[in-house]
Structures are given as C-alpha cells and as structure tokens.
Amino acid sequence: MPFIPHTDKDIQKMLSTIGVQSIDELFSEIPSQLRSKPLDAVPEGLSEMEMMRLMQERAEQDAGALCFIGAGAYEHHIPAAVWDVASRGEFLTAYTPYQAEASQGTLQLVYEFQTMMCELTGLDVSNASLYDGASGLAEAVLMSIRANRKSKSKKVLVAGSLHPTYKKVVEDIVSNQGIELDELSVDYASMSIDHASLNEFEGNDYAAVVIPQPNFMGTLEDVNTLTNWAHDNGFLVIGVVNPVSLALIAPPGEWGEAGADIAVGEGQPLGIPLASGGPYFGFICCKSKLVRQLPGRIIGRTVDLEGKEGFTLTLQAREQHIRRSKATSNICTNQGLAVTAATIFMTMVGFEGLSRVAKACHANAFALTEKLKNIPGVKLRSPAAFFHEFVIEIDAGSKQVLEFMAEEGILAGFDVSTCSPELSNCVLVCVTEVKTNADLELFVASLSRAIEDRGEV
C-alpha cells in the first residue's frame, strides 16, 4: 500500500473540487527553477524478495569474525528475551506520544528508563533519550552554555582524550552557533589528560569542561581532581561515560566533591546489537538545578483524582511546540525502540547483573594484556587503570598486522595511529564478557603469526 493510499479516482475528485486539472497545475505557481529535480542517484526499486536477499548479503559481511574492535560500539551478550519483548507490537510500532497521557505504557517505560539512568549516573534527572552519544555531547555543550550564568564566554574546554568522532560531531554542530572549543592536551605516557596543561586555562572563562571516563584510549582519567579543578574555576563538568562501566567505577554524580553537572554517553552497550553501526541512542542526565535547560522530554509519575498511579509528560522543550525559536533543542523522535530494548535489558539483568558484566569485561581485558606481554614486538601502552579497552604498540606495523589478522577472521582492534601521530603503530583493543579464554588464545596466536609474517618480508 502506498504511504498516501489515494486511488487515481480519489485524486481526480479532489482536483476537480478545487478546480484544477492536474497535480502539476496545482503547484504551477512555484517557479520551475525552484522545483526539485529527479533523484538520479537513487537506484530502481526492488521486489521484497530481492530486497531481503540484498540485506542478507550485507549482513553476512559482518558475520563470522571474532571482533575485538570496540572504540565506541561494544559487543555484549543480549538475552534473547530482550528483543522478543521489544519486538511486540505495543513497543515496535509505538511512536512519539503527542497525546501523551493516552500512552501510559510508553510513558511508564520511559519513566523506568529515566529512573535507571539516574541510578547509574548518580545524577538527579534524565531525559527520554538522544539520537546517539556524539550528538548527545553536542546537546550537553549547548546546555552548558545556557546553564552557566556566571560564564560570559561561549567557550568550552574539551579533553584531548575524547573520542575523535565525538569531537568532530560536537564541532560540526556547535561551531555555527559561535561556540569555541579549546582542547586539553594529552600526556601519552599516561594515556590521559596532561594535568600540567590545566595551568594554561587556570582562571579563564569557560562554560564547561568535557571529561571522558574511560577515555578514548580506554584509560581511566583522574576525574576527582579534574572535577574539583573545573568547579574551582567556575566551569561546569560534562562527563562522557560508558554506561556498563558505571556498574563498576564511580558514577559522574560522585566525581570530586560536588559531582559532575551533566553526564552523556552512548546507550548501545545496554542491549543494542552492533548492527553494523546503528541505529543506537544517546542518554543525558544532569543535576536538578539544570533541569530547565535539559533538552527533550521528562516523564513524571503522579496519581489521578481517584488515587490511581499514572504517568505524565512533565517537561518538554521541543521546537514544534510553543517555544519555537526559543526551544532548547530540535530533538524529535527519541530512538524509542532502542530505548525500549535498553530498559528491558537493564530490568532483566539488574544492577547486580550489570556489575557482573562489567567485572567480567575488565577481567577478560586484563587477562589478554597478561598474555600479550609474552609476544616479542608488542608493547602495552596503557597504564594499569583501564576498563575493557587498552592500547598496544606493534613494532611490525599496526596496519599490516590488522590486515593479516582480519584475513584469519579476527578483527583485532582499532588503528589509533589514524587519529594521532603520537600513537604510531598502535591499536586499541577491546575485550568484553562475551570473549572466552579460547578467543584470547586465538587472538594471541594470530597476532604472533602476523608479526612473524612481517619479519619474513
């Protein structure tokens, strides 16, 4: 059925009613040079059978390999019941609740999601969700400019150890709004923010500081010192966090003496498959004093006149409502299906289960680093404090070794030398709870063969 299910007879009847002969005549007042041209790059339509075959072939391109990449998208075990429940019609076809209170099931689910995200981050308020972690950080930067009334500048400090994609997305979104981003340099010996560089920004006017935890290289930053320093200088603190790690390490709400002011991140680790890169969802939480600057929606719980529990759309700041140009954000659909799956995932595993997942991730990653110490030509660049990602330096060359291992069915990591010249021949390796000791042995054996192969060339 077409999206607009009008027959030719229906169309002719409507045209005759308004007194025109054709649809082209209906739009004749629009100059021809302003009309859209045919979309030459769009391929011809496919039948259902052909489309399913094509998508199956594309999906198989990602199948079968043993993946150690990570770098912002992580492979975790997802209980079968998560997507069995999320795929029920009530969830699968649910859309933005424009008549909010008529959608009690959707509202309750989002309320539960917000509650769990607040518990994970240690902050007071969470919104419904964001498009993804990177654009969510851009929203947090914009939020900090609005919220920090003491700051007269439109400047934000960003850690050099932040994920490079996040930095690029934030820059693309906020630069056209006159917001300037300055960078805290990285100490590549410790693979973290260079604390000596803080002196350069001491006493300057910045709205906020962006601190990743763990950072892009997997290292745990000294968030307590950084948070206290930022607050002492009148900066808000934006934490960029991995939600699974928060079941093991201190949440942003407990950083330093006063805690981070805003926390954002990518929600993909919470029950969303890698799926060739998306769609995922972002989350954002903050202290209660900043709630009026929080983009998106907030769901609340109340009781009706009969004392029955009910859920309501408590706060929303969206451009298509009365605020228009004064809206805090243009967030619209909030990746509802992915959020549904994440809520079901967190409900099923609980905090204790998530904690076990986090501990297993760290234990497996540490176990692999111990095995790698026995391979000549491989050096562990990461310090002891990491979560489930670490950086290794390969004398034989990162690009060539990764290509060799990929041919053996092992996606060995992310080549970070493409992001920083200081990390030449370095690879970011990720290990989660799904990896077995046999998987780690396969990694070690393949890496050893790759290095031997390079030595023979």
pLDDT of residue 264: 98
**Confidence band (pLDDT; 50, 70, 90) for 394?**
very high
Tell me if residue 230 falls in helix, strand or coil: helix
- Quick one: DSSP state of residue 70? -
pLDDT of residue 104: 87
pLDDT of residue 183: 96
* Chain segment 95-106, per-residue pLDDT in tens: 666 666 778 888
* Chain segment 325-348, per-residue pLDDT in tens: 667 776 766 688 999 999 999 999
- Cβ distance 260 to 253 under 8 Å? yes
Average pLDDT rounded to a whole number, residues 122-149:
94
Residues paired with residue 66 on neighbouring β-strands, in sequence order: 410
Residue 161 has pLDDT above 90, yes or no: yes
Average pLDDT rounded to a whole number, residues 240-255:
98
Place of tokens 């983009």: 295
The b-or-e profile of 366-382 (16+ CB within 10 A means b, else e) is: eebbebbeeeebbebbb
Which of 197, 204, 284 minimizes the C-alpha distance to 238? 284
Tell me the torsion sign for CA atoms 15, 21, 23, 25: negative
Each domain of the chain, given as residue ranges in start order, spans 66-72+350-456, 80-346
pLDDT of residue 398: 95
Question: What does pTM read for this prediction?
Answer: 0.89
Least confident of 107-116, 268-277, 282-291, 305-314: 305-314
- Rounded to whole angstroms, the Cα distance separating 59 from 46 reads 17
Residue 457 has pLDDT above 50, yes or no: no
- Cβ distance 428 to 413 under 8 Å? yes
Q: For the domain covering 66-72+350-456, report its CATH number.
A: 3.90.1150.10
Contacts of 433 (CB under 8 A, 6+ apart): 76, 77, 357, 360, 361, 364
pLDDT of residue 1: 41
Average pLDDT rounded to a whole number, residues 404-424:
95
- Rounded to whole angstroms, the Cα distance separating 319 from 326 reads 8
**Confidence band (pLDDT; 50, 70, 90) for 395?**
very high
Backbone φ and ψ for 210, nearest 5 degrees, come out as -100, 120
* 80-346 has the same fold as 66-72+350-456: no
**Confidence band (pLDDT; 50, 70, 90) for 426?**
very high
- Rounded to whole angstroms, the Cα distance separating 257 from 118 reads 18
Residue 60 has pLDDT above 90, yes or no: no
**Confidence band (pLDDT; 50, 70, 90) for 41?**
confident
Per 3-state DSSP, what percentage of the chain is helix, strand, and coil (rounded to 5)?
45, 15, 40
Enclosing H/E stretch for 152: none
Burial of 210 (0-12, 13-18, 19+ CB in 10 A): buried
The b-or-e profile of 223-240 (16+ CB within 10 A means b, else e) is: beebbebbbebebbbbbb
CATH 3.40.640.10 fits domain 80-346? yes
Quote the tokens at residue 391. Answer: 């950086």
Residue 317 has pLDDT above 70, yes or no: no
Quote the tokens at residue 86. Answer: 């999320």
- Rounded to whole angstroms, the Cα distance separating 141 from 237 reads 10
